[in-house]
Amino acid sequence: MTKTFLISGAAGGLGGQVVEAALAAGHNVMATDHTPHAVTAPTQHRGRLLLRAMDVTDPAAVGDAVAQAVAKFGTIDVLVNSAGIRGVGSIEDMPEDEFRRNVEVNFFGAVNTVRAVLPVMRPRRSGSILNVSTIGGRRNQPGLSAYQSAKWALGGFTEILAREVAPIGIRATLVEPGGIRTPWAAAPMPMPHIHAEYEETVGRFARTYNNNADVQRGDPAKMAAVILRLTEEPRPPVRLLLGSDAAWIAPQITDARAAEDAAWRVVSASTDLDGLGDFADTEVARMVRPTRN
């Protein structure tokens, strides 16, 4: 069945690969980017491809793009949020406007597009939403506080979204790639201006990244194919790691966090009011247990 995709960050990288894969599969695509002229597609697909400049941080612009896609293709079946930027610097040294810009694009950009497409998907009780994050959304890399904080927020947002919309037939997945071999990822990071005290953390990270900027393992075309597969899955995962590096890193983080939680569990439990029963037996505990799509 032909579907209509709305894709942000479509001018390159993983977003661009999703555009190509969706068109090759016979789907309609509204490809958006802050530089839409950079989106490329074979001429035979032009009748199914709509290009538009869209600032994901501007809810009005996002709403206009959604309306244009619906007017052209009749609906939106799939939203792929792939727009993103990256900034490096210490928490203390990064300019406030740069920090806020990272959060606006990487987190609120996805929030804006999701809020705009839900009124299209909800009445039809169907749709797929795929928010592209990164394994960095589980990590805590010095130097990437703005970028990774936004991705952490995107992860929590997507998990809540998945639970809210599952009863009405809409599926939401957070895609968490490791390193992807794209020009954007391979471009050197600008060395940040930092205080000398952060040289061993932030400075070392920036140098290490730039010395290894072309060693990403992820194939963006293969990742795009998986994203298309997710749109056909009746019960897709709420989170999906992509890349052997991401699949290796994630359990290291989970195990370390679980070990720290366990080491302090007695202290954590000691702060309850006296005389209460086991929390696991409460209605609240039953409500907060993780669920899947």
Residue with tokens 């699949």: 247
151 is catalytic: yes
Q: Which two tokens stand for residue 23?
A: 């068109």
Active-site pick, 133, 145, 149, 198: 133
Pick the catalytic residue from 3, 90, 145, 147: 147
Residue at 26: amino acid letter: G
Closest C-alpha to 147, from 198, 214, 205: 205
Task: For residue 90, indicate whether it is catalytic.
Answer: no
- In the 8-state DSSP scheme, what is residue 273? P
Whether 20 and 43 have beta carbons less than 8 Å apart is answered as no
Q: Give the Å distances, CA to CA, from 245 to 106, 192, 273.
A: 22, 26, 44
The catalytic position among 8, 128, 151, 198 is: 151
What is the distance between the alpha carbons of residues 61 and 32, in angstroms, rounded to a whole number? Answer: 11
133 in active site: yes
**What's the rounded Cα separation, in Å, for the pair 155 and 172?**
11
Residues recognised as catalytic? 133, 147, 151
